[in-house]
């Protein structure tokens, strides 16, 4: 079957595990990959994927359902379910085992699904792999297991025998990698990159680790792999100075503008790194997301008035833009600021935890507090989800799907870089 998958093709293909609410699936599809299979176990997330048909690449084609398999990834026979050649396996294995907000049990946590990524690679033999996870995976206490993950991705065909600990398996992997005698079609070249989504145009501070692997026989030149950082904090600061271009797209009072400017840090223009980052585009802010910048250019969300909070009601005709009462701040939960990227969208037990989705508005007298909750649609924009993407379930469940997701813009940047590197490798062969 592997030989059949390697035939000539015009469109690249992908399989995605742990699809959640669809962020990475949209990203990979936007980068030109045709989905062959998506897997997700959470019922509400599956409802979301089914409610949003796969948009065709051509105008003369009709939307199609995503090729979703609902259920436990451990029950899927990938070689049976996928009958075509696979270019990319992508996924964000559940991050709770490694998250700062989780129980930190790591490899001891039954939610650790990296072994299933290894199995999918064995059964599908993709040309490339993308894994996204929380930055907590890089914490010193998890360093041995993170090294094991990378070695497992390097030699996914060297399986862990029943009864062996992961440490024993890791020793076998380390020795095999040192010998460097594995079949190149069964070995991968692996790297990882700590990233902040804001550096890639996402209006959110979201620190993650991206793991990328290419099959060794392809001879991919890592110099051809360019997920470029195109945005910077320094450029945002510069654009917010008096009469800076940031204010050209935002209708705010002089009082608001002056307050924001007064809170800006100073830039050390003698620093070469600062000068280099000033040449990049400005970080996008929460206000940018709400007003509509980049993918939502010219599509501002209607303002949420105090009267929209009690009773909770839909504001305008964009799905998920519903006012929500009860916003407050308290120690340890500072609000989101409109003129900064949003704080990390998190997935708590009941959606975004605590004050993480509270924002400070321009009017200090708003609802007697000066604060309100972000709507689901505003949060979706912060995750760079398109406005047409409808999230299913109650509000808390929708917010949880967003907190677990990969920002579409971040995922697309890496998926396009993978596609370009594969194209360059094929050109040279």
Tell me the per-residue pLDDT of 305-360, one tens digit each, with 9 for 90 and over. 999 999 999 999 999 999 999 998 878 788 999 999 999 998 865 455 556 799 99
Please state, rounded to an integer, the average pLDDT across all residues of the chain: 90
- Active-site residue, 46 included: no
Q: Is the pLDDT of residue 100 over 60?
A: no
Active-site choice (14, 46, 95, 131)? 95
7-16, 89-98, 232-241, range with greatest mean pLDDT = 232-241
pLDDT value of residue 99: 41
pLDDT value of residue 351: 54
In 202-325, where do the E strands start and end? 207-215, 231-232, 281-282
Judged by DSSP in three states, 337 sits in strand
| Per-residue pLDDT band at 97 (split at 50, 70, 90) | very low
CATH 3.40.50.150 fits 2-227+405-428, yes or no: yes
Q: What is the mean pLDDT of residues 267-289?
A: 96
CA–CA gap between residue 86 and residue 225 (Å, rounded)? 19
| β pairing state of 207-215 and 188-196 | antiparallel
pLDDT value of residue 5: 36
CA–CA gap between residue 376 and residue 395 (Å, rounded)? 7
Quick one: 162 exposed, middle or buried, by C-beta within 10 A (0-12, 13-18, 19+)?
exposed
Q: pLDDT > 70: what percent of the chain?
A: 91
pLDDT value of residue 422: 96
CA–CA gap between residue 94 and residue 107 (Å, rounded)? 12
More confident residue, 259 or 113: 259
pLDDT value of residue 355: 63
pTM reported for the whole predicted model: 0.92
The predicted-structure confidence for 111-141, as pLDDT tens digits, reads as follows 578 999 999 999 999 999 999 998 988 989 8
pLDDT value of residue 108: 46
Q: What is the mean pLDDT of residues 168-177?
A: 96
The predicted-structure confidence for 50-87, as pLDDT tens digits, reads as follows 999 997 767 777 889 999 999 999 999 999 999 999 99
pLDDT value of residue 104: 38
CA–CA gap between residue 31 and residue 134 (Å, rounded)? 23
The torsion defined by the Cα of 287, 231, 343 and 103, in degrees rounded to 10, comes to 160
pLDDT value of residue 107: 45
């Amino acid at each position: 079957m592997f030989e059949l998958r390697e035939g000539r093709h015009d469109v690249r293909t992908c399989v995605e595990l742990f699809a959640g609410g669809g962020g990475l699936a949209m990203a990979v599809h936007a980068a030109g990959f045709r989905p062959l299979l998506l897997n997700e176990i959470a019922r509400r997330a599956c409802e979301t994927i089914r409610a949003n048909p796969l948009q065709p690449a051509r105008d003369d084609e009709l939307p199609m359902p995503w090729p979703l398999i609902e259920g436990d990834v451990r029950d899927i026979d990938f070689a049976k379910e996928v009958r075509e050649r696979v270019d990319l396996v992508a996924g964000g294995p559940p991050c709770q085992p490694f998250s700062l907000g989780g129980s930190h049990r790591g490899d001891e946590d039954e939610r650790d699904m990296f072994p299933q990524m290894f199995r999918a690679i064995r059964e599908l033999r993709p040309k490339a792999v993308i894994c996204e996870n929380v930055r907590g995976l890089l914490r010193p206490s998890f360093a041995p297991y993170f090294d094991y993950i990378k070695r497992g991705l390097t030699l996914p065909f060297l399986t862990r025998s029943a009864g062996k600990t992961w440490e024993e398996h890791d020793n076998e992997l380390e020795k095999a990698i040192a010998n460097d005698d594995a079949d190149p079609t069964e070995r991968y070249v692996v790297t990882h990159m700590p990233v902040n989504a804001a550096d890639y145009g996402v209006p959110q501070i979201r620190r993650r680790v991206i793991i990328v692997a290419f099959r060794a026989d392809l001879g991919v030149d890592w110099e051809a792999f360019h997920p470029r950082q195109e945005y910077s904090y320094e450029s945002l600061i510069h654009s917010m100075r008096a009469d800076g271009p940031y204010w050209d797209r935002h209708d705010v009072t002089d009082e608001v503008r002056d307050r924001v400017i007064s809170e800006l840090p100073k830039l050390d223009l003698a620093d070469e790194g600062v000068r280099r980052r000033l040449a990049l585009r400005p970080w996008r802010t929460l206000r940018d997301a709400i007003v509509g910048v980049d993918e939502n250019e010219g599509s501002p969300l209607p303002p949420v008035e105090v009267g929209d909070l009690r009773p909770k009601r839909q504001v305008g005709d964009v799905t998920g833009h519903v006012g929500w009462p009860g916003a407050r701040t308290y120690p340890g939960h500072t609000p989101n600021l409109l003129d900064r990227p949003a704080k990390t969208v998190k997935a708590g037990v009941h959606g975004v935890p605590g004050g993480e989705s509270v924002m400070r508005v321009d009017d200090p007298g708003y609802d007697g507090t000066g604060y309100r909750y972000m709507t689901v649609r505003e949060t979706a924009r912060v995750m760079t989800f398109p406005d047409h993407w409808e999230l299913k379930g109650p509000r808390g469940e929708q917010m949880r799907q967003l907190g677990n997701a990969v920002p579409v813009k971040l995922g697309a940047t890496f998926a396009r870089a993978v596609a370009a590197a594969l194209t360059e490798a094929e050109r040279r062969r």
